[in-house]
Amino acid sequence: MKQTMKRISGTLIVIALLSGLTGAFAFSLASKAINGNQSGTSTPDESLVEEQGIMTLSKDDSMPTQHIDLTKAAEKACTAVVYIKVTIAGEKRTIEYSDPFSDFDDFFGEFFGRRGQGGTQRRQIETPKRQGAGSGVLISSDGYIVTNNHVVENATEIAVTLNDSREYTARVIGLDPDTDLALLKIDGSDFPTLTIGDSDALKVGEWVLAVGNPFNLTSTVTAGIVSAKARGMGANKGGIESYIQTDAAINAGNSGGALVNARGELIGINAMLYSQTGSFTGYGFAIPTTIVKKVVNDLQQYGKVQRAMFGVSGMTLHDYIEAKKAEDEQKDVKEKDKFKADFGTNEGVYIAEVTPDGAAAEAGLKEGDVIVSVDGKKITKMSELQESTTKYHPGDKATVGYIRDKKELTTTVTFKNSQGGTKVVKPQNFETLGAEFKELSDALKKDLKMSYGVQVTSLSEGPLKKAGIEKDFIIMQVNNQNIKTVSDLESAFKSAQNSETRTLFIWGKYPSGKTGSFAVELGDE
């Protein structure tokens, strides 16, 4: 028994020694490989290294070993990201309701010679105030703040709180629903700011920080990587979408906050999240600074965004091909008659329609062409085309590359404004309508048997008078919207300025009961 134990112990010692020698040999090889690379001497044969289970990297494939420090970027962003609290005033509304006692009133009213009101009564109510919250980013030391349009739209009060708890009242400089961006201003100086970086230089896989105020928790920082660029989500119907997609957590309240690169530069404004639960479940989306810079500059200089109209409608080429294939399958088309996807390219934007007399039509582009570049920048999908053209103003020119009949061609496009001209469209003040207004008093509503309206109290030279509207006319609808207050009329005026027609279609009545409808053109200036 003792001899057996001695033999077993001896075997274990030999195994342990062999293992030690093997480890020492491996360590020696690894040390030589490392020292050899540092001193310029030759490295062990790769096959030998692989056989021994040792990993080594060639100089071309070596990965950086430095640690990515995001603390400085986070510190910069936190001081420049603000908390925005908005208040939306209640509205006065006239509601109709059924009165259960009205039938008795009608019966006895007829008996005593009074006319009943039927079964319907009217009552004026006021809806309660609403409040919301979001984030914003200070982009200048004198107090300009960029945020999302949906954060401040329709707000009657906007309160801004800085990271150091200072509080300010903000005013709206301009809104742009098409890109979901807004520019605010607070009074003061020496505010902390974020440098606006170049989102075009951003790479997929790059580390980013999302900074904002989710769930009313101020100065919250989350980290992630860029998952995709120029992502279109279809959430902003008719708007411009070319989002930076990131897996940095974005939740309710992050809207309008900063997406920051590792250098602490602003490269996007957080706008939305993709979720089936209402909270973060994987991806957030930010508006890139290529779009932000153009919108901010236009709002500061002109008060509205100068949209360069291309004059085409279409879709990503790949989506068009898939849609045509699906259409053939649904119709059970014979093989010889099926759609043939032979464009000479697999990437680009397919032109489905060209606006007559538009910029693209004048440049010679046609239905069926595939746009592949704008001023040398490669275009692979519709969101990239939208992002590329946002930087231009009406009257600007761009070289557009396209494919027709499998041949790559170029043309020069001169962008137009929404009215078909090439001039910058400047917004008008509400006063340029050349009129003064007042809301109908309760007494006047009763006399005229009207429940709402805004009356023209005076007229001077301007669009209203030119259209044929006279003093005392009561405006009841503008562009199919009921006008109950002067603020309603001003909102309709601002919306019309941003429309393609720039026209107020007005309907209403005179005190005599005569109705009237007018088309008031606002013009370009």
Question: What contacts 24+ positions apart, CB below 8 Å, involve 429-436?
Answer: 430/490, 430/493, 432/462, 432/463, 433/462, 433/463, 433/464, 433/493, 433/520, 434/459, 434/460, 434/461, 434/462, 434/463, 434/464, 434/465, 435/459, 435/460, 435/462, 435/464, 435/465, 435/469
The DSSP line for 357-422 is TSHHHHTT--TT-EEEEETTEE--SHHHHHHHHTT--TT-EEEEEEEETTEEEEEEEE-B-TTS-S
Q: Which helix (H) or strand (E) holds 93?
A: strand 92-98
Strand partners, 181: 176
Q: Give the strand pairing for 144-147 and 157-161.
A: unpaired
- C-alpha dihedral, 381 to 383 to 384 to 388, nearest 10°: 140
Q: Are residues 448 and 470 in contact, defined by beta-carbon separation less than 8 angstroms? A: no
List Cβ neighbours of 136 (8 Å cut-off, separation of 6 or more): 81, 82, 84, 145, 146, 147, 151, 160, 184, 256, 257
Q: What is the Cα–Cα distance from 171 to 306, expressed in whole angstroms?
A: 21
Looking up tokens 């562009």 gives: 479
Q: Are residues 359 and 395 in contact, defined by beta-carbon separation less than 8 angstroms? A: no
Nearest in space to 212 (alpha carbons), one of 152, 256, 150? 256
Q: What is the Cα–Cα distance from 455 to 320, expressed in whole angstroms?
A: 51
Maximum alpha-carbon separation in the chain: 130
Residues in the chain: 525
Task: Please list the active-site residues.
Answer: 150, 180, 255
Q: What is the Cα–Cα distance from 391 to 292, expressed in whole angstroms?
A: 10
Q: What is the Cα–Cα distance from 489 to 430, expressed in whole angstroms?
A: 9
First to last CA, the chain: 109
Q: What angle do CA 434, 440, 441 make, to 5 degrees?
A: 135
